[in-house]
Homo-oligomer: A and B are copies of this chain.
């Protein structure tokens, strides 16, 4: 089978990135507006370094990008990761609907 190992680890990272409420909140915020890493850090009851790590996780998952501006690092939402995650769940939804259709057919035949 081999199932495309690269894409699999990409998806691992994506969903892992979503699996934390602080990171989900960061994604929402940086999609709406502009935040530096320290600007984000000010929002949560944890250290700067902890937030920095969360941002790094999101970056590896293509859910945010960072861009240096002066001494600050501006974090912005990246549509790429979100799209990929949605695509996978849509795939699952499709499989589900096919199954539902098959079951309807069986009932109609019966």
A12 to chain B, nearest CB (A): 5
Whether the pair B15, A15 counts as a contact (CB closer than 8 A) is: yes
Q: Most chain-B Cβ atoms within 10 A of its Cβ — which of A18, A85, A86?
A: A18
Interface of A is mostly: helix
Considering the chains assembled together, what is the distance between the CA atoms of A13 and B19 in angstroms? 7
Contact A96 to B24, CB < 8 A, known contacts A15-B18, A19-B12, A82-B89? no
Partner of A77, one of B3, B85, B96: B96
Beta-carbon contacts under 8 Å, A29-74 to B: 31-32
Q: Is A105 located at the chain interface by the 8 A CB criterion?
A: no
Q: Using Cβ atoms and an 8 Å threshold, which residues of chain B touch A32?
A: 95, 98-99
> What 1/0 flags go to A87-106 for Cβ under 8 Å of B?
01110110110110000000
Q: Which 6 A-B pairs have the closest CB atoms?
A: A15-B19, A15-B18, A16-B19, A8-B21, A15-B15, A86-B89
